[in-house]
Chains A and B, each alone.
Chain A
Amino acid sequence: MKILCCISHVPDTTTRIQFTADGKALDRSGVTFIINPYDDFVLARAAELKEKNPTGVHVTVLCVGKNGASSTDSVDANLRKALALGLDEAVRIDAEPLDAFFVASQIAAYAQDKGFDLFLFGKESIDYNGSQVPGMVAALLGLPFISYATSIEILNGSAKLTREITGGKELIESPLPLVLSAQKGLAEWRIPNVRGIMQAKSKPLHVIAPLSVSPRVQTLRHEPPPPKGTFKKIEPERIDELVQELANKGLI
């Protein structure tokens, strides 16, 4: 079974976000970039499947991105971290991710003739929070798409999955190949061990040139979120006044 895990390269969850003076882009200076947290679930699930069947499962990790100027902004370093979980090879498509359509087109073009059985994505990247790339890849390749998957088990070439829905979960059966986007629950996060980190250094990491694709959506500018209104501290004895104010605002 061949698995493709797609990961995005995002600012660390604790980063204070600042934009360049023209607002066009993130100010990357001093920012540490990590593997998107939802993609960590995917990598952990792939590592589990690989452990159960080391010779029968082959896992490729892919990211569309360019290495940044600093050592804390390296796509290659994050790909190696993924490999350290026991995965087989990495691919970096050497291009700025211009929009979701651009990224999905690159992934689909790469995967087209490689015979992957399973395409694993996170449910969204925590930078642009788009939830777009996985579904677009499924559509470009004409494969079944299962979004917000919270579990997957594979048996005899087909899969049983659960998917998060409003107020519960849905059970789904699908033949392979399929595309899923992961919600928390798909697997427990894993931390690579020293042996894995050492081995990852000599695993293949292919850097390939992008396809020429026009993005469909452009970022015009960014802004910080609107400033918070004034903060009101309420003494526990004066809760009735708070209730009145919430009611005046139409909130309760």
Chain B
Amino acid sequence: MSAVVVWAETTEGRLKKPTLEALTAGRKWATTLGEPLWAVVIGDKLSENIPDLIAEYGAEKLIRILSPEFSTFIPNAYARALAALIREKNVSYVVIPQTYDGRALAPLASIWANAALFSGITTIPEKQAELWVARRICYSNKGLEWIGTAHLPLIITLKANSIIPEKSPYSLTIEDFSFRPPVEDLRAKPVGVEKVSTDKVPLTEAEIVVSAGRGLKGPENWTIVEELAKVLGAATACSKPVADVGWRPHHEHVGQTGIQISPNLYIAIGISGAIQHLAGVASSKNILVINSDPEAPFFKAADYGIVGDAFEVVPRLTEAIRRYKEQHSH
């Protein structure tokens, strides 16, 4: 008997949202297959609360691959461990969240596990005749693609925000899988991390993103953007020229050459809506555009639009949301 295996990415004792999405997808896939759902954690130790969280989201077994070499993410070492598990346990179906680390892990593991790889899909694979079939976004949001494979094992990476995390509690057993990565997989050594913003929601996971462009005229004017983001609990982003001139840090740049995001709500302030910008944000579920030019191309891609001066509209919107939240919280 086989299983659906989810790579559970843990960060500082938390399960990230993409992992909850992956577990939810894995649970659904396992149920249609009639197979159990296992979660695998690779690391040097396991925080106490992780098993409960994993059980809450539908896993029946937690497989721990613990070794001191796994204290930080090294793609080759983690992939070697995951591939060893897939081979040894005859696993046919694997779900990996499409985070920074997930995207590095999946292609390596696919080769070493001799697996097919569906990357960045937005649906849970379905069996159609001989093939497993899923949908993904291609051409930078300008097209959808249906892909298929008859090759097993099949590894999928799931695009963030494609599946809503749902709890589905199971009772959990824990098993250790012992694996130590060969030294050749430890050649690239992480030697440090520079955090830019720890208090904010990461851009790729955020449900709401407030983004601004050249229309804001200068870096000193970003307070209104930050304040709107704050009342919404949103992440902040920007257009490319704004990052290029240093008004905002590079890691906020979204678009074709920046970060691709698909939040539930994307608010674009003083951004014209160039095709390369849309390439990174057009799969957002809802788009609100605030622009003083009624002809700005972004309105064509928007669900909601306010024609007006950002310096008047944005503070007013922030105030309205604050008022609404005060009235509706107890």
Q: What per-residue 1/0 map shows which CB atoms of A232-244 lie under 8 Å from chain B?
A: 1111100110111
B308 near A252: Cβ-Cβ < 8 Å: no
- Closest Cβ of chain B to A233, distance in Å, is 5
B187 near A144: Cβ-Cβ < 8 Å: yes
Q: What per-residue 1/0 map shows which CB atoms of B272-288 lie under 8 Å from chain A?
A: 00011001001100101
Segment among B40-48, B131-139, B171-179, B215-223 that sits at the interface with chain A: B131-139
* A173 to B72 alpha-carbon distance, docked (Å): 13
Q: Which residues of B contact A26 (CB under 8 A)?
A: 139
Q: What per-residue 1/0 map shows which CB atoms of A199-241 lie under 8 Å from chain B?
A: 0000000000000000011111111111011111111100110
Given A166-B99, A168-B194, A221-B146, residue A129 in contact with residue B140 (CB < 8 A): yes
Q: What per-residue 1/0 map shows which CB atoms of A152-190 lie under 8 Å from chain B?
A: 000000000000111111111111001000001100000
- Closest Cβ of chain A to B132, distance in Å, is 10
What are 19 pairs between A and B in contact, CB < 8 Å?
A13-B275, A101-B117, A129-B136, A129-B137, A133-B107, A135-B107, A136-B110, A139-B76, A164-B100, A166-B100, A170-B194, A218-B147, A220-B147, A223-B145, A229-B303, A231-B299, A232-B305, A240-B324, A252-B208
B265 near A217: Cβ-Cβ < 8 Å: no
Segment among B26-34, B63-71, B87-95, B249-257 that sits at the interface with chain A: B249-257
B200 near A236: Cβ-Cβ < 8 Å: no
Chain A contact residues: over half helix, strand or loop, or mixed? mixed
Chain B interfacial residues counted at CB < 8 A? 95
* A53 to B13 alpha-carbon distance, docked (Å): 46
B138 near A131: Cβ-Cβ < 8 Å: no
A234 near B275: Cβ-Cβ < 8 Å: no
- Closest Cβ of chain B to A171, distance in Å, is 4
Given pairs A127-B138, A220-B148, 17 additional interface contacts (CB within 8 A): A13-B256, A131-B103, A139-B76, A146-B188, A147-B103, A150-B250, A168-B196, A170-B194, A171-B194, A184-B250, A184-B253, A225-B282, A228-B302, A239-B306, A239-B316, A240-B324, A242-B306
Chain A interfacial residues counted at CB < 8 A? 79
- Kindly state whether residue A37 has any CB partner on chain B within 8 Å: yes
- Kindly state whether residue A126 has any CB partner on chain B within 8 Å: yes
B312 near A217: Cβ-Cβ < 8 Å: no
A217 near B324: Cβ-Cβ < 8 Å: no
Q: Which residues of A contact B282 (CB under 8 A)?
A: 225
* Option from B11, B108, B131, B276 in Cβ contact (under 8 Å) with A138: B108
Most buried by B among A17, A142, A145: A145
A135 near B145: Cβ-Cβ < 8 Å: no
CB nearest neighbor in A for B113:
A139
- Closest Cβ of chain B to A117, distance in Å, is 13
- Kindly state whether residue B36 has any CB partner on chain A within 8 Å: no
B147 near A217: Cβ-Cβ < 8 Å: yes
B275 near A14: Cβ-Cβ < 8 Å: yes
B100 near A147: Cβ-Cβ < 8 Å: yes
* A146 to B146 alpha-carbon distance, docked (Å): 29
CB nearest neighbor in B for A13:
B276
* A166 to B187 alpha-carbon distance, docked (Å): 23
- Closest Cβ of chain B to A24, distance in Å, is 10
* A134 to B106 alpha-carbon distance, docked (Å): 11
Q: Which residues of A contact B302 (CB under 8 A)?
A: 228, 231
Most buried by A among B119, B149, B275: B119
- Closest Cβ of chain A to B153, distance in Å, is 10
* Option from B79, B101, B145, B195 in Cβ contact (under 8 Å) with A139: B79
CB nearest neighbor in A for B112:
A139
- Closest Cβ of chain A to B234, distance in Å, is 9
* Option from A225, A246, A247 in Cβ contact (under 8 Å) with B141: A225
- Closest Cβ of chain A to B184, distance in Å, is 7
* A169 to B306 alpha-carbon distance, docked (Å): 36
Q: Please provide the 7 A-B residue pairs with the shortest distance between their CB atoms, ordered closest to farther.
A: A135-B107, A139-B111, A144-B188, A174-B188, A147-B104, A216-B116, A17-B142
- Kindly state whether residue B258 has any CB partner on chain A within 8 Å: yes
Q: Which residues of B contact A77 (CB under 8 A)?
A: none
B190 near A170: Cβ-Cβ < 8 Å: yes
- Kindly state whether residue A140 has any CB partner on chain B within 8 Å: yes
